[in-house]
Amino acid sequence: MKKKIFFLFIVVLLVLASVSSLRYGASDNSWREIYHALLQLGGNNQTQQLIYYLRLPRTIASLFIGAAFAVSGALMQGITHNPLADSGLLGINAGAGLGLALVFAFTNPTPAMTMFASFTGAAIALAIIYIASSRIIFVRSSIHMVLLGAAIGSFFTALSQSIRLLFNLNQEITFWFVGGSANVTWPQIQIAVPVMTLGIMGAWLLRNQITLLSIGDEAAISLGKNPQRIRQLSMFCVLLLAGTAVSLVGAISFLGLIIPHIVRFFVGHDYRWVIPATVLFGAFFFVVADVLSRLIAPPLETPVGVIVTLIGVPLLLLQIRKGNV
């Protein structure tokens, strides 16, 4: 009953947040204007164009990006037995950012090229994490894994910053370093949403195996499962989710860390419930953060990555204080 109430509550909040995302921004619109704009998408009216070309793709992107980062964090925590695992803390987002810096330095990239570059950088970071996760020292201590991720992230970020300075990419790529969904377009949505949907579906199909793996490799092996195979498939889903999300909004940290811990408080540790809960709550959380980014200092926008970090850091410290790491 508790789980059903939680899901119903989150769905209602998600709908309210999504509608609010369409209404609020540098210029606020009435509910009547929003209603008519949605009935006549792509019309010539200024409000209709604002909704269709700016706020609607931004809202759709925020929904999927929040879900993607949250699910990737839940997967990483399940397969590494590490409550601090997150695509940002483990350097995966920084690897994707390095791929973006390289593609901006040498080409005038299309949405497909930025996504491929982001995938490549994230895959390199993931490969390092995957190799390290099999080492005893990293399995026994979550702090060692986080320190490795911090080192990877710092190294990739330093390379990205160097490329940005060397090729004078400040205007082109600063947006990806601070994080934000203001520049998302329909062509990007058409490519990114199917990829993120595939990653979420893959996580859903792996839910039972990840529950076993989160208990321990022995439990999975005793039931005839292959822990290495589960990790490989889960890592591929993380690549699809985090790589695509970073290509759209940049390196957003802490979202994949805090959302799984919040939803486990309501639905427990069974990934049959954790995966759909992180999808919904992650989407809600990021849409709310995106709306707040527009409302804090209008008509200017606060980078949404800053807002997520301001919320995520205290929750990370709380986890450490509670002894969950």
pLDDT in tens, 49-71: 888 888 899 999 999 999 999 99
Whether residue 314 is predicted with pLDDT greater than 90 in this model: the reply is no
pLDDT score at 149? 78
Whether 13 is covered by a domain: the verdict is no
- CATH at 105: 1.10.3470.10
Interval 67-82 mean pLDDT = 90
Q: Could you report the per-residue pLDDT of 208-234, keeping only the tens digit for each?
A: 999 988 777 787 788 788 888 888 898
Question: Where residue 38 falls among pLDDT bands split at 50, 70, 90?
Answer: confident
| pLDDT tens-digit series, residues 113-143 | 888 888 889 888 888 877 776 665 555 555 6
The reply to whether 230 falls in a domain is yes
Q: Rank 41-45, 244-248, 296-300 by mean pLDDT and report only the highest.
A: 244-248
Domain span at residue 251?
A: 1-6+24-322
User: How many distinct structural domains can be found in the chain?
Assistant: 1
Determine the pLDDT at residue 176.
Answer: 66
Cα separation, 33 vs 39, in Å, equals: 10
Considering the domain boundaries, does residue 18 fall inside one? no
In contact, 276 and 221? CB cutoff 8 Å:
no
Helices (H), 107-179: 111-133, 136-140, 142-166, 170-178
In a domain, 15, yes or no: no
- Per-residue pLDDT band for 297 (boundaries 50, 70, 90) equals confident
Cis upstream peptide for 299 (omega within 30°): yes
Average pLDDT, the chain: 84
The confidence score (pLDDT) of residue 42 equals 62
**Of residues 184, 268, 275, the one with CA closest to residue 237:** 275
pLDDT of residue 57: 92
> What would the mean pLDDT of 303-319 be, rounded to a whole number?
80
Is the pLDDT at 150 greater than 70? The verdict is yes
pLDDT beyond 90 at 13: yes
Q: Of 102, 18, 2, which Cα lies nearest the Cα of 288? A: 18
pLDDT at 133: 64
Q: Is the pLDDT of residue 295 over 80?
A: yes
Q: Residue 287 pLDDT > 80, yes or no?
A: yes
Length of the chain: 325
Residue in 201, 270, 277, 264 with CA at minimum distance from that of residue 8: 277
Tell me the C-alpha distance between 90 and 93, whole Å.
8
Query: Residue 84 domain-assigned?
Result: yes
Residue 180: pLDDT band (50, 70, 90) is confident
Given a cut of 70, is residue 43 above it in pLDDT? Answer: no
**Mean pLDDT in residue range 35-49:** 75
Of the chain, the percentage scoring pLDDT greater than 90 comes to 28
Tell me, what's the pLDDT at 131? Answer: 78
Classify residue 174: in a domain, yes or no: yes
* pLDDT given for residue 134 in this prediction: 63
* Helices 142-166 & 170-178 angle (0-180, nearest 10): 160
Sign of the torsion formed by the C-alpha atoms of 34, 35, 41 and 45: negative
pLDDT confidence of residue 73: 93
